[in-house]
Amino acid sequence: MSDLPKPKITLDCFGLYCPEPLFQTREQMDSLKIGEILEVLSDDPAAEEDIKRFAKRTGNEIILFENNKGQLRFLIKKGEEK
């Protein structure tokens, strides 16, 4: 059993391509309170770099990243705005 926190919101971006997964991730992160978790699912190869860069730049924390045969899963914890 996983000890990972349960996401507040799951964002399904399968079938969407750059820049849409990043735009939707940003929008959903804005709706969360500090400490809440967003789960993002995507099959866009560009999403890995885009979302990792976005999280670092905005003070959010990626607490999990998985790539299962091109199916990407992120758990992003809302941090304090930079």
- Asked whether 40 and 12 are in contact (CB, 8 A), the reply is no
CA distances from 51 to 1, 2, 3 (A): 26, 23, 23
Q: How far out from the chain centre does Cα 44 lie?
A: 13
- Asked whether 40 and 71 are in contact (CB, 8 A), the reply is no
Told to judge if 13 belongs to the known catalytic residues of this protein, a careful annotator would answer no
Which of these is catalytic: 8, 10, 18, 26? 18
Q: Which residues are catalytic?
A: 18
